[in-house]
Amino acid sequence: MHVIDDDRATMTRRKLVPWLALALVVAVGIVVLAVRSRPDNSPAARAARLEQQLACPVCEGQSVADSNSPQSRAIRDDIPRRIAAGQSDADIRQYYVSRYTERILETPSNSGLGIIAWGLPALAVILGALSIVVAVRRWSRAPRLEATDEDEDIVRRAREETDGGERHPDDAHPDDGLPDDSSPDHEAPGDENGP
């Protein structure tokens, strides 16, 4: 009894190992992501980040950081002054939005058409996950193939050929004239004398 309990405990531990490993990997990944995504809040890093987040107001497809237009240069000069004056990143962004509208933001807004830009990837992920769930459930529900009499005949004949005529009692067919285990004539060894 103790042996069986020990075996069960070992099996349970073995089943848990992959899950524990997975949990460990996920936990380490989350910690690394959390540490790596913590922004550097030095003035220079904030200025560089804001320059990337703002679009050049007079060019197409360039950020303030990349553009050499007068307006972009003025913004690059202006951002450190605003940071030194104690303005938050949101305040600074808002100032430029008030001057150049939301088109100056490199990230789409969370209203109007901007919702599509934010929502489409999320919708794609959800639809993809749902598709996988539906597909897996459909595959798992698919009926297993059942052997027909014809299939069993094919298997039986193949076995006859490979076994050279020796048959297992289970292979007995009602029409093949072989002795059947279930017939009353059949006696198990040691049963000669009866009860």
Letter for the amino acid at 51? E
Q: At a CB cut-off of 8 Å and minimum separation 6, what does 96 contact?
A: 54, 75, 104
**Contact call for residue 118 and other proteins (CB under 8 A):** no
**Rounded least distance, CB 145 to other proteins, Å:** 16
* HSE-up (13 A, CA, CB side) for residue 187: 8
Contact between 73 and other proteins by CB under 8 A: the answer reads yes
Among 8, 13, 99, 157, binds other proteins (CB under 8 A): 99
Q: Are 94 and 85 in contact (CB under 8 A)?
A: no
Beta carbon nearer to other proteins, 4 or 113: 113
Distance separating alpha carbons of residues 118 and 111, to the nearest angstrom: 10
Sign, Cα dihedral of 66, 72, 73, 75 = negative
Contact between 64 and other proteins per CB under 8 A: no
Q: Which is nearer to other proteins, 90 or 113 (CB)?
A: 113
- Cα 46 from Cα 49, distance rounded (Å): 5
CB 138 → other proteins: shortest distance, Å?
8
Nearer to other proteins (CB atom), residue 101 or residue 110: 101
The verdict on 63 binding other proteins (CB under 8 A) reads no
**Interface contacts to other proteins, rule CB under 8 A:** 57-58, 60, 70-71, 73-75, 77-78, 81, 96, 99-101, 113, 116, 120
